[in-house]
Structure 1
Amino acid sequence: MKQTMKALVLNAFEVPMNLSKVERPVAGPGQVLVRIKASVVEVVGEGVQGCASGNEVWDMTEAAKLVDAGKIKVLLDERHYSMDEAGRAHAAMQDGSARGKIVVEVE
């Protein structure tokens, strides 16, 4: 019996992503399966831009120090979403109703 998992699925552009049950991927010969623990996607102008760098561990550690020192203020939207509400969170990001970073709580 194949294992399943929940995943955010983008079925079409300019519509919210759907939380769906999908078949858990299995790496084949010469392939590597990567688990993404966290990801950031921000709306920038007319498009969507992901955040990436060459050394994420250092960046996050350094960013945490700057936040703790009060040099960076993180703005969080007052609403928090569950994984089942991820489509609503994505819609809030797209329509601009979210103020600050959107929090989606993962079980």
Structure 2
Amino acid sequence: MNGSSVCLDMHTREDRKGTESDHRLFALAAWREAPCFSDSERAALALAEAVTRMSDRTNPVPDEIWNESARRFDEQALATLILKIGMVEFGNRVNATTKQIVGECGCE
């Protein structure tokens, strides 16, 4: 979503060590069409994408995206999701600013 090869490399490696399947990791790039994501996961992904691409539109987080996320997650879970999205975005900006290169983040 954010175009960061460092993020893609790091998070894919982390997820592969956990319980996430390769199938779902590969399908993430096409999450809207992929049948392997739940409605709650789609709401979280839509919110993450909207926050990530805020400068692409005049209404950064459209009501339909916000309302779907608020419908799927209670207040605490939604707050946690927003903070996690923000933390990933912060990391992406640091990586872009300091011109991090895939493999140099200690993930290999």
Same fold (TM over 0.5): no
More helix by share: 2
Which bin holds the TM-score, normalised by the shorter protein?
under 0.3
TM-score with structure 2 setting the length: 0.24
TM-score with structure 1 setting the length: 0.24
Structure number, greater radius of gyration:
1
